[in-house]
Amino acid sequence: MSTGELLRRAIRRHRGRMTVGILLTALHQATEAAVPVTIGIFVDQAVASGELMPLVWCVVMLFALFAVLSNAWKLGARQIVRAIEFETHELRLEIAQRVLDPRGQRTGLRSGELLSIATSDAEKAALVMRALSLGCAAGTALLVSSVSLLLVDVPLGIGVLIGVPLVVLGIQGLSPLLTRRTSTQQEAVAQTTALATDLVGGLRTLRGIGAQHNAAARYRRSSQDTLRATLRAVSTAGLQDGVSIALSGLLLAAVAGVAGWFALNGRISIGELITVVGLAQFIAEPVGTLGYASQVLAGSRASAGRLASVLSSPPLVESGTTTVVDPAQPLLQLDGVSYKTLADVDLTLRPGESVGVLCYDPRDADALLTVVAGRALEYSGAVRVGGTAIDELDIDVLRNTVLLERHETDLFEGTLRTNLLVESPSLERVMTAAGAADLIEELDRPLADRGQALSGGQRQRLGLARALLAEPPLLVLHDPSTAVDAVTEELLAEGLAEVRSGLTTLVLTSSPALLGKMDRVVVLADGAVVTEGAHAELAETDATYQEAVLR
Amino acid sequence: MNLLPIAGPRATWSLLWSEIRKLPVLSIVAAIVITGGSAAGLVAPWALGVLVDDISGGADRSAIVQVVLLIGGAALLTGLLTALGVLLVARVGETVLARIREKVLDRVLQLPAPVLDKVRTGDLLSRVGDDVATVASALTDVGPMLLGAALTIILTVGGLFALDWRLGLAGLLAVPMYIWALRWYLPRSAPFYSQERVAMGERSEAIIASLRGSATVRAYQLEDVQLAKIDATSANARDLSIRVFRYFSFFTSRINHAEFTGLAGILVAGFFLVRADAVTIGAVTAAALYFHRLFNPIGAVLMLFDEVQTAAAGMARLAGVLEMEQITAPPPGAGPADASIELVGIGHAYDGPLVVDGVSLRLEPGERVALVGASGAGKTTLAALAAGVLTPTAGVVKLGGVDVQALGEDRTRAQVALLSQEVHVFSGTLAEDVRLARPEATDAAIEAALETVGALAWVRALPDGLETVVGEEGHQLTGAQSQQLAFARLVLADPPVAVLDEATAEAGSAGARELERASVAATAGRTTLIVAHRLTQAEQADRIVVLDHGRVVETGTHTALLASGGRYAQLWHSWTGFKPGEPGGRTTPANAST
């Protein structure tokens, strides 16, 4: 989907609301333009005449004008806002859906960037509708003002209609400079803010080496740089304000001079003089609004571009169509697999077997996990799950067969219980097996901050309990006990072996407690399988292995 | 978990006022210039009124020329004063803001450790981050507009009265209507705005939980659950925004009513005054134009009310940080005599049972002592106490024979560094990160420190070497590399005493070994207290102290403790994965010293 398509679709999706909204806001601008005209008529017809009937009529006219003005905006703007809010919501969901696609996504963006696309860019893209309605309304105001001016006096009207846009354009000549300086200033503010949160985030680290003063000094420098950038931007903004006030004032002087000259000669009435002068002041507004609408549109286009690139990014992997997983075949079979640091790895997990993998290099573990999860691109060799090539397997069947739980446990809003995902009578038994018996009491405790308040060990043990409760045919664990003390680790290793007995389990770890409970251990060094055997045997005979598992 | 304090309006104002008073000349000049600019802006409508009168009075051409020159001259003056005024006001406001944000960060960085442990990190981060940004953007974007609008309103009302007091009164008819509109709107919208903010927070939370945990979402097939959550929270935020806007549209409509009242009031009053020959048509015209000119500034002030309130709330939160009590530096006294640490009868509790109980321990200068124990034994707390980061509830910590309390934060930190389990890579270049430990360090000194901890090779291999941008937005370092940077900072800070509580487990087995080498190199020649997370860390120590439930249960060398068959021997067997007496059980590791 291209940027333009995304924006056009937004308007199309809300065309009913947009039509009503645009018509009403345009009517509002037309009535705003009519206010100075009405003041002129009022003075001319009522105040200058001194008669009561015209006064009554003029008050009625003014009242009617304001009644239309106020209701038109109220009703019209609500329609536009509804359209914008609904579109933002829809865009946000589309992004979330795209990012959470089971097949993965290939945007290459970090979660922070994706969050800002799903929130602020979705909002800004939907503002295309505000830009459109503002543009239409301003256009209408210009049209009404022009007609009114031309009705008063054609040459004077033409003069104003040429003069005002020239002045506005002249003022906007400064805009590129202002935009540049403003964005430099905004970047500076963002950097200073980021520096502050970064330093506070690392406060304990700073305090440990007594570097708070140095950090404060660094922040002060950044803050002063930001101050300078802000003042530069403000000086341009001030200049623009000043020039704009001076130029529009000079234009007003010229219009007043010519209109006054015409009024003196009797070519136009006093009321018409007031109308012309009032309109000359008013007309700068819709011209300015047009400029603003074009800025909003530009911002909306930029955000829509980012949305479109996420929405049209291809999935990371394609889902296969086969749904056959043969229970008699090995649940996982790697045949000469090379991927990233892995070189020609063979690994077979027979049904019911538990295998420990010790990687001397953490990169090998990462590569192996990616392969097993079916998310590896451009690998060589064969990866089979239940006899079927992993790429040909339907993505949901694969996910029902292989479950991967990593050591940095992601938790979600809710309670500990909802995070375990399954209500099962064996809940307590499994939690005890995962070394998380201490958390059974707290199952219904609400989890703040996605569980950030829990210790690393508590999170890991919850993650393990969650994985065990899911009872997948093949469970793959990565370092499930790195944040767990030795005594609990021992319990956890025993519990894991007990709960998974008869099921197939693959554990990537360097923990002797866990490795000791596996049927066999496979050791990877420099991307290749170097040795294989029971933990006790390897620990006895292999010095490198001994050193690696030693805690 | 406590929230940081929020200052009351009075304290907030007095903070602002005290900062503004530090720029007396600039502030006064700024106020005069910006007021002059707004006053000069009143000339045009008044001159137009004169023009109307001149024409109805049948004046000549020269009168028109005068009016034109007056309007033109006033325009140039207004432009000049506005440009200058905006700049001067911004210089005052932005300087004040910069000083306040620097003070706030300084104060946060100096927060005592016990306070730091009690406040929510999120609150702290939002004070120095969001709140500063909110106040800054309000000041820069809204400030000049608001000030200009407010001055224009005040001066225009003055101008109305100067034309004729009765016209002025007629215009003031609008004031109760404006107030009524505001009093109708604010109490109704405020709860919705706060609900809206909460709803937006929940929405972001739902999105970010799904994004950060997307691997887990996929693995457990939670897409539909998470999407439903995002849908629900986003729809809730959307509906609240629409409802808030509904109120806002009623509010705007009430503002229109006020505009009508004022304008009609002036014109009708003008009608009767002109009929009674009390004022001229020109004066009525000028009054009507004055009032019409007020539509935008009044609208701006009312519409910006929300932003002003938000900024005021942010300012109150910043002022709240400055209200927190400061650490008072103790009077200067004798410094540490040597690099020893002595803990005398130390006890510590965090609002509950004692975590450390009656620990006495002395580390001789240059000695390397390892703390060993199961999790929850009090190792981390004891390390923080020894480093003077925590203040013990009982007992005394002495550095080089001097009580830490008498030394004060700065001199304690010069004597002892604590490397905690939190590993943070600071955003910026790698050199800047390491240089935080000693700002005056040259690149050569930084390279030397990196070399000491065995990091120079990979640092040189980075895309831009020392100048590579690291941290959240930059090049992502591995856990082990981040830890090495922490050691390099320690080398550069060069304190005589080091307390290490760093976790090495996640570095993988090969990485952990490298880190141990780095750890030994970084602490060479320093008195070192190390919390042993791995066996080899304990083994390399001169002495091992075994903690259990906050008490010292054993102390001695590795071989002596292993031979005694006590708690350490038990832990050792549990660590190595072999039961005592099993064939695999060893009494000394094969290659432990490598």
Mean pLDDT of A413-432: 90
pLDDT band at residue B273 under the 50/70/90 scheme = very high
Are A260 and B54 an interchain contact pair (Cβ–Cβ within 8 Å)? yes
CATH number of the domain encompassing residue B466: 3.40.50.300
Count how many domains chain B has.
3
What is the model's pTM? 0.80
> Which range has the worst mean pLDDT, B248-252, B264-268, B306-310?
B306-310
A276 is a domain residue: no
A183 and A70 housed in the same domain: no
Closest CA to A353 of A490, A507, A481: A507
| pLDDT tier, B373 (very low <50, low <70, confident <90, very high otherwise) | confident
Task: Tell me, yes or no, whether A360 and A469 share the same domain.
Answer: yes
For residue A328, the distance in angstroms to the closest alpha carbon of chain B comes to 24
- Whether B508 has its CB under 8 Å from any CB of chain A: the answer is yes
Q: What is the CATH number of the domain that holds A507?
A: 3.40.50.300
User: In this structure, are residues A300 and A125 in contact, taking their beta carbons and an 8 Å threshold?
Assistant: yes
Q: Is the pLDDT of residue B205 over 50?
A: yes
A326 within some domain: no
Same domain, A190 and A296: no
Q: What is the DSSP string of A337-405?
A: EEETTEEEEEEEE-TT-EEEEEESSHHHHHHHHHHHTT---S-EEEEEETTEEGGGB-HHHHHHHEEEE
Angle between helices B281-303 and B174-212 (to 10 degrees): 30
Task: Count Cβ atoms within 10 A of the Cβ of residue A527 and give its class: 0-12 exposed, 13-18 middle, 19 or more buried.
Answer: buried
Task: Extract the tokens encoding A162.
Answer: 């040429």
Q: Please check whether residue A112 lies inside any domain of the structure.
A: yes
Kindly state the average pLDDT of the residues A392-405: 93
Mean pLDDT within B328-342: 87
| Residue B336 in domain | no
Task: Please report, rounded to a whole number, the percentage of residues in chain B having pLDDT higher than 70.
Answer: 94
Interface contact flag, A243 B422, Cβ < 8 Å: no
Confidence of residue A6 (pLDDT cuts 50, 70, 90): very high
B330 belongs to a structural domain: no
Closest C-alpha to B51, from A259, A265, A149, A46:
A259
Of the listed ranges B167-176, B233-242, B511-520, B558-567, the one predicted with least confidence? B511-520
Q: Burial code of A110-130, b = ≥16 C-beta within 10 A, e = fewer?
A: eeebbbbbbbebbbbbbbbbb
Structure tokens at A120: 């602020």
Does residue A325 belong to any structural domain of this protein?
Answer: no
Please indicate, yes or no, whether residues B434 and B307 belong to a single structural domain of this protein: no
Calculate mean pLDDT across residues A315-324. Answer: 88
* B130 DSSP 8-state letter: I
Q: B130 with B267, same domain?
A: no
Q: Over the range B458-497, which residues count as b (16 or more CB within 10 Å of their CB) and which as e?
A: ebeebeeebebbbbeebeebebbbbbbbbbbbbbbbebbb
Residue B487 has, within 13 A of its CA and on its CB side, a CA count of 28
Separation between Cα atoms, residue A547 and residue B7, nearest integer Å: 57
Run of H or E including B139: none
- A211-243 CB burial, b ≥16 within 10 A, e <16: bbebbbebbbebbeebbebbbebbbbbbbbbbb
Q: Is A168 domain-assigned?
A: no
A277 closest CB neighbour out of B48, B65, B275? B48
* b/e sequence A200-210, b meaning 16+ C-beta within 10 Å: bbbbbbbbbbb
Q: Are residues A148 and A107 in the same domain?
A: yes
CATH of the domain at B313: 1.20.1560.10
pLDDT of residue B586: 44
pLDDT (tens digit per residue) in A438-460: 888 888 888 766 676 677 778 88
Report the distance separating Cα A407 and Cα A481, nearest Å: 8
Q: Are residues A71 and A180 in the same domain?
A: no
B469-470 and B402-403 as β-strands: parallel, antiparallel, unpaired? unpaired
Contact residues, chain A, for B137 at CB < 8 Å: 189
B72 touches chain A (CB under 8 A): yes
Query: If you average pLDDT over residues B385-413, what whole number do you get?
Result: 90
Of A198, A273, A540, the CB nearest to B471: A198
> Range of B212's domain?
174-271
Pairing of strands A332-339, A446-447: unpaired
Q: Are residues B224 and B298 in the same domain?
A: no
So what's the pLDDT on residue B510?
Answer: 57
Domain count, chain A: 3
Q: How far is CA A190 from the centre of its chain?
A: 17
Output the pLDDT for position B165: 95
Same domain, A309 and A379: no
Residue B58 predicted with pLDDT over 70: yes
The whole domain housing A51 covers: 1-153+285-316
> Residue A84 corresponds to which amino acid?
I
pLDDT exceeds cutoff 90 at A58? yes
State the amino acid at position B339 in one-letter form: A
B587 within a domain of the structure (yes/no)? no
Confidence of residue B578 (pLDDT cuts 50, 70, 90): low
Strand B394-399 relative to strand B402-403, pairing: antiparallel
pLDDT band at B2 (very low <50, low <70, confident <90, very high): low
Average pLDDT over residues B301-311: 81
- Percent of chain B with pLDDT strictly greater than 90: 49
Among A387-391, B157-161, B373-377, the minimum mean pLDDT is found in: B373-377
Same domain, yes or no, for A135 and A237?
no
Cα B31 from Cα B89, distance rounded (Å): 7
Q: Which residues contact B179 (CB under 8 A, 6 or more apart)?
A: none
Q: B497 forms bridges with which residues in the sheet?
A: B416, B527
Q: Clarify whether residues B305 and B397 are in a common domain.
A: no
Question: Is there a single domain that holds both residue A358 and residue A298?
Answer: no
Task: Specify if B335 maps to a domain.
Answer: no
Instruction: Pull the structure tokens for residue B286.
Output: 């000028």
Q: Which of A197, A243, A364 to mutate to test the interface with B (most CBs of B within 10 A)?
A: A197
Q: What pLDDT band is residue A201 in, cutting at 50, 70 and 90?
A: confident
CB A274 within 8 A of CB A44: yes
Residues A300 and A184 in one domain: no
Pair (A198, A309) in one structural domain: no
pLDDT at B504: 57
DSSP label at B358? E
The CA-atom distances, in angstroms, between B190 and each of A80, A82, A86, B251 are 23, 20, 23, 13
CB contact under 8 A, B576 and A490: no
- Based on the fold, state whether residues B6 and B50 are members of the same structural domain: yes
Which two three-digit tokens encode residue B554? 């054993």
In the predicted model, what is the mean pLDDT of chain B?
A: 87
Pair (B437, B549) in one structural domain: yes
Q: Is residue A417 part of a domain?
A: yes
Q: Which of residues 345-404 of A touch B (CB under 8 A)?
A: 358-362, 365, 373, 396, 399-400, 403-404
| Residue B127 near residue A274 (C-beta atoms within 8 A) | no
Q: Report the percentage of chain A scoring pLDDT > 90.
A: 53
Record: contact A253-B101, CB cut-off 8 A: no
Give dist(CA A239, CA B412) in Å, integer: 52
Residues A111, A50 share a domain: yes
Query: For residue B259, is it within any domain?
Result: yes
Q: Which residue type is seen at A505?
A: T
Is there a contact between B98 and B13 (Cβ–Cβ < 8 Å)?
Answer: no
B89 and B209 both lie in a single domain:
no
- Substitution target from B196, B248, B285, B491 for chain A, most A beta carbons within 10 A: B285
Position B516 confidence tier, pLDDT thresholds 50, 70, 90: confident
Question: Is B334 within a domain?
Answer: no
Please compute the mean of the pLDDT values over residues A356-385 and round it to a whole number. Answer: 90
Residue-wise pLDDT tens digits, A247-302? 888 988 998 999 999 999 889 988 898 888 888 878 878 887 888 888 889 889 98
Q: Is the pLDDT of residue B591 over 50?
A: no
Q: Is A158 contained in some domain?
A: no
Do B318 and B384 fall into the same domain? no
Mean pLDDT of A199-206: 88
Assess A70–B contact: CB distance below 8 Å, yes or no: yes
- Tell me if B140 and A233 make a contact (CB, 8 A cut-off): yes
pLDDT at B585: 42
Question: Same domain for B160 and B178?
Answer: no
Same domain, yes or no, for B382 and B308?
no
pLDDT in the model for residue A294: 85
Contacts of A71 in chain B (CB under 8 A): 253
| pLDDT-wise least confident of A313-327, A444-458, B325-339, B537-551 | A444-458
Q: Quick one: tokens of A115? A: 């969050």
Structure tokens at B350: 């965090």
State percent of chain A over pLDDT 70: 99
**Bridge partners of residue B349, in order along the sequence:** B354
**Is B135 or B29 the better-scoring residue by pLDDT?**
B29
- Nearest in space to A45 (alpha carbons), one of A57, A34, A54: A54
Could you tell me which residues come within 8 angstroms of residue B83 by beta carbon, excluding any fewer than 6 positions away?
A: A238, A239, A241, A242, A243
Same structural domain for residues A351 and A261?
no
Q: Which residues contact A67 (CB under 8 A, 6 or more apart)?
A: none
Q: Are A539 and A526 in contact (CB under 8 A)?
A: no
Q: Which domain CATH number covers A137?
A: 1.20.1560.10
CB A546 to CB B591 under 8 A? yes
Task: Decide if A355 is inside a domain.
Answer: yes
Dihedral over alpha carbons B197, B199, B200, B203 (to 10 degrees): 160
Number of other residues whose CB lies within 10 A of the CB of residue B302 = 19
Are B290 and B256 found together in one domain?
Answer: no
Q: Do B289 and A278 touch (CB under 8 A)?
A: yes
The whole-angstrom separation of Cα A460 and Cα A469 is 14
Q: Which of residues 115-144 of B touch A (CB under 8 A)?
A: 116, 121-122, 124-125, 128-130, 132-133, 136-137, 140, 144
Residue B118 lies in a domain: yes
Taking CB atoms and an 8 Å cutoff, what residues of chain A touch B590?
543, 546-547
Say yes or no: B262 and B311 in one domain: no
Contact A264 B471 (CB under 8 A): no
Q: Which residue has the higher pLDDT, A487 or B129?
A: B129
pLDDT for res A81: 96
Average pLDDT over residues B39-67: 88
Closest CA to B221 of A422, A376, A367, A387: A422
Residues of A within 8 A of B108 (CB-CB) are 200, 203
